[in-house]
């Protein structure tokens, strides 16, 4: 069912840290519409526990933070981008404070700085162990006070609007947007369309991400011809709570930064066999180590041990984690916590420049859905919220003087001869199959044979989904499944092309680095497809 045509200056897809910060800054010179597919707080940002990495301590330096980032990124970071983000860190922390975000203070009043894996210094500002939730709260409160911003919750983007369909260059001028409440597809045009749609974690059956993380931005951008880059580098967080009653619950890396130790069920430590930094090694190393130990032993989990630390400190530093575990019968001050790796963060994404502009005119990407060059082959902990702040600010400045590009007549959404589905089980079964074979074949450790199996399966499923998409009227589940399947295809294809092991991409067939670190770029050149 086609709905009205709405016009704005800036259309933002997503309501996490990047989208909200962009909206606040862009509202100073234009009208902003934010669409978010559930409630505005249903974001990866809201689930972030650790904090924002920034150089604030007297014993720290920009160069140390840069070198830590480059080392974690395993040769694939863009150094100028790393330097730009790191040097902007202190100012972005100050902006958070100005917006009204609470950040923990040490005795004496200075900001309390935590430490996480692969950081050589304490440099992570935080609010207890729910930093993302606090940032989300502060940004939403600021947005609510800004008259130039409209937030449309329960709205999910279907496809981006492209001038290519009107005989012009492939420029973006908005999106078709499905109103989940009414079932109406609205047409929203904009001078700039900003994808801040978050990650792709739901491509995998085990993930720390919320249900909204289905890779929508990456899929939509690719369909209209924008380049995507390095999608094989999926970060698996080493420590997600393993419990039958727990779902997607992250055990913050800050727990290891504060002295937590990884152990086997026997109580033995094991990380010393994998890296000199032991439990504080970078995420790719720790996740692979845990995966290897579980495969060797057949055990269900390893354990994160905090019991040797002061109980009062542990409860005060990690109150949300302590409460959640206690509800499940685990006292983290007395019992080691069972944990396993799970899909956590997409280091690749939609290729952008230093202002967040994609390779498609009028289309910007910021936050986790974007590839900026900051993270390389493995993201350094707590650099993601920093990146979201830095690039959202730069994008808001870049869109100020963009010309409005749109056809004289905009075609509204048409369902054609599509009918209501009477076979929705197809959607749920395809969703489940994709997520399971992605975990089995395109997970922490890969082989050519596994990737080929995944490629064959995803092509069959994508054809089924395309057929279903043509025949039946859209639903939010179908929109997400279509995007999920395309993102899975792109991850598989990117992984198949990388004939080496680097960072988060570890393949048994090519265990070594290639002499030169190169990005893997994919771009659709023969017209939009599903």
CA atoms in the 13 A half-sphere facing the CB of 286: 33
User: Residue 50 has what pLDDT?
Assistant: 87
Bridge partners of 342?
237
3-state secondary structure of 209: coil
Residues 116 and 204 in one domain: yes
Residues 351 and 324 in one domain: no
Residues 389 and 437 in one domain: no
Q: How far apart are CA 252 and CA 244, in angstroms?
A: 19
Over residues 416-472, the pLDDT tens digits come to 777 777 767 888 899 999 999 999 999 999 999 999 999 999 999 999 999 888 888
Number of domain units in the chain: 3
Q: Mean pLDDT of all residues in the chain?
A: 95
| 448 within some domain | yes
Q: Which residues of 112-132 are buried (b: 16+ CB within 10 A; e: fewer)?
A: bbbbbbbbebbbbbbbbbbbb
User: Residue 1 has what pLDDT?
Assistant: 54
Residues 430 and 456 in one domain: yes
How many other C-beta atoms are found inside a 10 Å radius of the C-beta of residue 473? 15
| 31 within some domain | yes
Please identify every residue annotated as catalytic. 283
Over residues 327-379, the pLDDT tens digits come to 999 999 999 999 999 999 999 999 999 999 999 999 999 999 999 999 999 99
Residues 324 and 366 in one domain: no
Specify the length of the chain in residues.
Answer: 530
pTM for the model: 0.94
Residues 135 and 204 in one domain: yes
Q: Which of 398, 417, 439 is the last residue of a domain?
A: 398
For the segment 161-188, the average pLDDT, to the nearest whole number, is 95
Distances from the Cα of 311 to the Cαs of 239, 250, 327, 334, 367, in angstroms?
20, 20, 17, 8, 36
Residues 247 and 148 in one domain: no
| 416 within some domain | no
Q: Residue 497 belongs to a domain with what CATH number?
A: 1.20.58.100
3-state secondary structure of 172: strand
Residues 106 and 188 in one domain: yes
Residues 45 and 148 in one domain: yes
| 301 within some domain | yes
Residues 182 and 252 in one domain: no
User: Residue 471 has what pLDDT?
Assistant: 86
Over residues 363-419, the pLDDT tens digits come to 999 999 999 999 999 999 999 999 999 999 999 999 999 999 999 899 989 887 777
Residues 280 and 134 in one domain: no
Q: Residue 212 belongs to a domain with what CATH number?
A: 3.50.50.60
For the segment 98-108, the average pLDDT, to the nearest whole number, is 95
Residues 189 and 57 in one domain: yes
DSSP string computed for 241-287: E--TT--S-B--THHHHTT-EEE-TTS-B-GGGT-TTGGGS-HHHHH
| 309 within some domain | yes
| 405 within some domain | no
Can you read off the two tokens belonging to residue 385? Answer: 């919220």
Listed in sequence order, the DSSP H helices in 117-202 are 131-144
How many other C-beta atoms are found inside a 10 Å radius of the C-beta of residue 107? 6
| 204 within some domain | yes
Q: How far apart are CA 34 and CA 364, in angstroms?
A: 14
Q: Which domain, by its residues, includes 436?
A: 425-509
Confidence at 530, pLDDT banded by 50, 70, 90: very low
Residue in 281, 344, 355, 380 with CA at minimum distance from that of residue 76: 380
Q: Residue 282 belongs to a domain with what CATH number?
A: 3.90.700.10
Query: Are the C-beta atoms of 352 and 365 separated by less than 8 Å?
Result: yes
How many other C-beta atoms are found inside a 10 Å radius of the C-beta of residue 1? 13
Phi, psi (5° rounding) for residue 475? -130, 165
User: Residue 414 has what pLDDT?
Assistant: 84
| 409 within some domain | no
């Amino acid at each position: 069912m086609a709905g009205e045509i709405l016009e704005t200056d800036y259309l933002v897809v997503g309501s996490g840290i990047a989208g909200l910060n962009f909206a606040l800054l862009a509202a100073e010179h234009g009208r902003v519409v934010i669409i978010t597919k559930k409630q505005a707080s249903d974001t990866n940002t809201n689930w972030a526990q650790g904090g924002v990495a920034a150089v604030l301590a007297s014993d720290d330096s920009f160069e140390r933070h840069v070198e830590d980032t480059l080392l974690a990124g395993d040769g694939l970071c863009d150094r100028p981008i790393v330097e730009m983000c790191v040097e902007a860190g202190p100012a972005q922390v100050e902006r958070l404070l100005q917006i009204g975000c609470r950040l923990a203070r040490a005795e004496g009043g200075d900001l309390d700085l935590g430490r996480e894996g692969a950081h050589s210094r304490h440099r992570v500002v935080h609010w207890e162990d729910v930093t993302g939730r606090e940032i989300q709260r502060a940004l939403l409160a600021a947005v609510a006070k800004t008259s130039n911003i409209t937030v449309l919750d329960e709205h999910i983007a279907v496809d981006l609007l492209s001038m290519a369909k009107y005989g012009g260059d492939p420029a973006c001028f908005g999106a078709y947007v499905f109103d989940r409440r009414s079932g109406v597809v609205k047409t929203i045009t904009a001078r700039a369309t900003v994808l801040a749609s978050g990650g792709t974690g739901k491509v995998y059956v085990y993930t720390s991400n919320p249900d909204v993380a289905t890779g929508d931005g990456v899929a939509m951008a690719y369909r209209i011809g924008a380049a995507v880059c390095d999608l094989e580098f999926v970060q698996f967080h080493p420590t997600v709570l393993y419990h039958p009653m727990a779902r997607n619950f992250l055990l913050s890396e800050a727990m290891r930064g504060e002295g937590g130790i990884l152990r086997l069920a026997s109580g033995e430590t094991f990380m010393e066999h994998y890296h000199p930094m032991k439990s504080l090694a970078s995420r790719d190393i720790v996740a692979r180590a845990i995966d290897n130990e579980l495969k060797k032993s057949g055990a269900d989990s390893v354990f994160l041990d905090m019991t040797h630390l002061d109980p009062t400190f542990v409860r005060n530093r990690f109150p949300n984690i302590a409460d959640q575990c206690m509800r499940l019968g685990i006292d983290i001050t007395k019992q080691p916590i069972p944990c396993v790796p799970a899909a956590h963060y997409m280091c690749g994404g939609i290729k952008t420049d230093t202002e967040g502009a994609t390779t498609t005119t009028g289309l910007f990407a910021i936050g986790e859905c974007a590839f900026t060059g900051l993270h390389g082959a493995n993201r350094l902990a707590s650099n993601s919220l920093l990146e979201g702040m830095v690039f959202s600010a730069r994008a808001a400045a870049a869109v100020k003087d963009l010309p409005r590009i749109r056809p004289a007549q905009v075609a509204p959404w048409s369902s054609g001869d599509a009918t209501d589905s009477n076979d929705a089980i197809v959607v749920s079964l395809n969703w489940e199959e994709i997520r399971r074979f992605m975990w089995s074949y395109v997970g922490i450790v890969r082989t050519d044979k596994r990737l080929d199996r995944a490629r064959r399966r995803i092509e069959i499923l994508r054809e089924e989904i395309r057929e279903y998409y043509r025949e039946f009227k859209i639903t939010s589940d179908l929109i997400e499944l279509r995007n999920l399947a395309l993102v899975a295809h792109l991850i598989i294809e990117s992984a198949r092309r990388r004939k080496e092991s680097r960072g988060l991409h570890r393949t048994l067939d090519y265990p070594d680095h290639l002499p030169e670190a190169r990005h893997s770029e994919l771009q659709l050149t023969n017209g939009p497809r599903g």
